[in-house]
Amino acid sequence: MLFKTDLYKQLWWRHIHPQLDTAGHQDDFVILNKRVLKGLYAVKQLHIIGWENDWAQDMTPEVMETFVDMSEEKSWDYFKVVTRKQDETNNPFEEFIKGKQFPVFQWESGAEYLISFENGWDAYWEDLSSKVRCEYRRKLKKAQSQNPVFRLLNHDENLEEHLDLFFNHHIAYWETKGETSLFAKPGEQEFFRSWAKELMPSNQVRFYGLFLNDELVSMRFGVMEDDRYYSMVTVNTREQHAYSPGVLALYYEMEHTYQTGCKIYNMGPGFFRYKRDLGATVSPYATTMVANPKSKTGKLVVSMKKQEVTQKQAEAVASS
């Protein structure tokens, strides 16, 4: 688990932790100072360390042991964790909070989308609709006039320049959406840059680039562990838009990871039509909020979240 190595933790403490408002820490946990209800209430959230911590949520035996120790303390109000779908009877975390009768609320908060290459590349594409296959072939053929080159940038002599370009375009893109990039803060950039560069020589972290007529038009980051590939983050430079650089880069990334041993390609969270078109299966995950039974504030926060989610679910049903 690349998100649980000593290297990952060291870099997180060095680059991310100084940016946070914390009230304490123990092993793989920090206590974050938060404010809710438009800043009226100060609360303390128990938090598993990790950048964009959806990528570092594994309740490993070590993490679970620390949580059990901290469950008796009054230093935190609530704990929030993302968990992958699994049989609850085999989940020590689920069993522990049920046994302790902690105030808890859990809801399906999203899903990842997985593509299987278990039967081979050709068999995978043959299983897709003829319409999807034709569309990809058309775009691939059209791009040939632009001399497409898709390659790993891990060992490129211009790696630092490519990374700067990646961060800048990612920040600019999310600003146009009125949202904040993962790399908005310098510490986030330095953490990701340091972590990725440590793992690039082994190709465990992969930084791909698509060039059209020698111009870098799309970049993709992903992680390869055993026979699984997790496509983490991507950005286009908005050049050569007529040639669908994002679509091309996705295809080439899937193809290259398959050629280098990938059996399960994880497209990441978030529903987009192209994921369905490419035959991805849905792997739901849940968010669990646990109130510290010793904290009235924690119980209030969890209760408020339950009301909020329940209302949104009811509205979604009513509008469907």
Which pair of tokens denotes residue 83? 């968990």
Domain ranges of the chain: 2-110+284-319, 119-262
- C-alpha torsion 198→203→207→208, nearest 10: 160
The domain 119-262 is classified under which CATH number: 3.40.50.300, 3.30.420.10, 3.40.50.620, 3.40.630.30?
3.40.630.30
SS3 content of the chain, % helix, strand, coil (to 5): 45, 30, 25
pLDDT of residue 53: 52
Q: What is the pLDDT of residue 83?
A: 78
Q: Give the number of other CB atoms < 10 A from CB of residue 62.
A: 12
Residue 206 CB coordination number (10 Å): 23
Per the listing, tokens 């691939």 go with 140
What is residue 178's DSSP assignment?
T
The pLDDT score that the predictor gives to residue 286 is: 86
Per-residue pLDDT of the chain (320 residues; tens, 9 = 90+): 667 788 888 999 999 999 999 999 999 899 999 988 777 789 999 999 887 655 556 677 888 889 999 998 999 999 998 877 654 545 788 888 888 889 999 999 888 899 999 999 999 999 999 999 999 999 999 999 999 999 999 999 999 999 999 999 999 999 999 999 989 999 999 999 999 999 999 999 999 999 999 999 999 999 999 999 999 999 998 778 899 999 999 999 999 999 999 999 999 888 889 999 999 999 888 889 999 999 999 999 999 999 999 999 999 888 87
